[in-house]
A and B are shown apart, each in its own frame.
Chain A
Amino acid sequence: QKEVEQDPGPLSVPEGAIVSLNCTYSNSAFQYFMWYRQYSRKGPELLMYTYSSGNKEDGRFTAQVDKSSKYISLFIRDSQPSDSATYLCAMTPSNTGKLIFGQGTTLQVKP
């Protein structure tokens, strides 16, 4: 069983929709949770970073962590075609340790 599970999609939504991306994990030691965005043929770009449980908002993006359920989410409001990319969740138990990635969800936002 993988430590981090993420539905690879693809997920297709119309422009302006609210997008919900999710990951589940099995290791209760994870403390740091990240969302990366990756465009085709590019490296992952850090979008959001959350320490422990709670919510974090940055513009149109909101990250949620529910450690009791071992479940993290990324919400994108008013989605734009430029949001079309692969979204990767990643997590780690320590602040300098290796990241454990989900497989990534491919998102397409149609104009």
Chain B
Amino acid sequence: EAGVTQFPSHSVIEKGQTVTLRCDPISGHDNLYWYRRVMGKEIKFLLHFVKESKQDESGMPNNRFLAERTGGTYSTLKVQPAELEDSGVYFCASSRFNPGPTHEQYFGPGTRLTVT
């Protein structure tokens, strides 16, 4: 079974430009999450999709960030316009829907975003 994949692995852009990150979850996983880790800080939640619907977007920092998951498969996270403080590693994770007490989120390798 293929794991969570993310593209690109690394992106360097200038302040004010736009960047789009992509995440392909594990096949059959309805839950998709975006997280971010800025340097020196802990990994922080951004938002959660269940299929194509946004279940929780409480972690999105501001309206410069737009996440979509059309068709309930892959997801994109667009940052427009990028600011210096957006630099960090963006992780995507997915999990299977399970009504029982299990909660296993599988993470992708991350996209390292550098805004200069």
| A interface, over-half SS | loop
Contacts A43-B4, A99-B33 supplied; 7 other A-B pairs, CB < 8 Å: A6-B42, A31-B101, A41-B109, A43-B110, A49-B103, A49-B104, A95-B102
Q: Which residues of A contact B31 (CB under 8 A)?
A: 96
The yes or no answer to A60 lying at the interface (CB within 8 A) is no
Q: Is A103 an interface position by the 8 A CB rule? A: yes
Q: Which residues of B contact A44 (CB under 8 A)?
A: 43, 91, 107
**B103 with A95: CB separation less than 8 A:** yes
Quick one: which of B35, B98, B99, B106 contacts A46, CB cutoff 8 A? Answer: B106
Listed in ascending order, the chain B residues whose CB lies under 8 Å from chain A are 4, 31, 33, 35, 41-45, 48, 50, 55-56, 58-59, 91, 93, 95, 97-110
- Structural contact, A103 and B42, CB atoms closer than 8 A: yes
22 residue pairs bridging A and B, Cβ less than 8 Å apart: A4-B42, A31-B101, A32-B101, A32-B103, A36-B107, A43-B109, A43-B110, A44-B43, A44-B91, A45-B107, A49-B104, A51-B102, A92-B103, A95-B98, A95-B100, A95-B101, A95-B102, A96-B103, A98-B45, A98-B59, A99-B45, A103-B42
Mark contacts of A95-111 with chain B using CB atoms, 8 A cut-off: 1 yes-contact digit, 0 otherwise.
11111111110000000
A88 at the interface (CB under 8 A from B): yes
Please tell me the size bucket of the interface on A: 20 to 34
Q: Is the CB of B44 within 8 A of A101?
A: yes
Known: A43-B108, A51-B101, A92-B103. A97 touches B56 (CB 8 A): yes
Give, as a whole number of angstroms, the nearest-CB distance from A101 to chain B. Answer: 4
The answer to whether A2 and B42 have CB atoms under 8 Å apart is yes
Chain A residues near B (Cβ < 8 Å): 2, 4, 6, 31-32, 34, 36, 41-46, 49, 51, 88, 90, 92, 94-104
Bound CA–CA A103/B43 (angstroms)? 7
Give the chain B neighbours of A41 by CB distance below 8 A: 109
B residues near A6, Cβ cutoff 8 Å = 42
Which residues does chain B contribute within 8 Å of A102, judged by CB atoms? Answer: 42
Residue of A nearest to B107 (CB): A43
